[in-house]
Amino acid sequence: VPMGVLSCMKYLMFIFNVLVFAGGTCLAGMGVWVAVDPAGFQDIVATRAMLSAGAWLLLVVGIALSLLGFLGCCGALRRSRLLLLL
């Protein structure tokens, strides 16, 4: 495989992982927003318990995606197979 293709793959993998990291950060931010100020979202969700559970779910999934995106970025830049497999 030519070196240019590997370099292109490395940067594409990095960009994809940055997008995953950004999406995870947005989800975590949305989870914090819903947990701190649920008044605007009570019209959408019927019960307060469901809103609280949804906020925690958004927060946990967002943090997990941010962590995976960060590890993927590090793995792509360092060409670490272990970090990319995570």
pLDDT digits (tens, 9 = 90+) for 53-67: 888 999 999 999 999
Task: Record the pTM.
Answer: 0.80
31 torsion bin: left (phi>0), alpha (psi -120 to 50), beta (else): alpha
Q: Supply 77's token pair.
A: 């830049």
Cβ–Cβ < 8 Å for 64, 72: no
Whole-number pLDDT of residue 82: 83
Average pLDDT over residues 16-45: 87
pLDDT band at residue 26 under the 50/70/90 scheme:
very high
- CA-CA-CA-CA dihedral for 72, 78, 84, 86, to nearest 10: -80
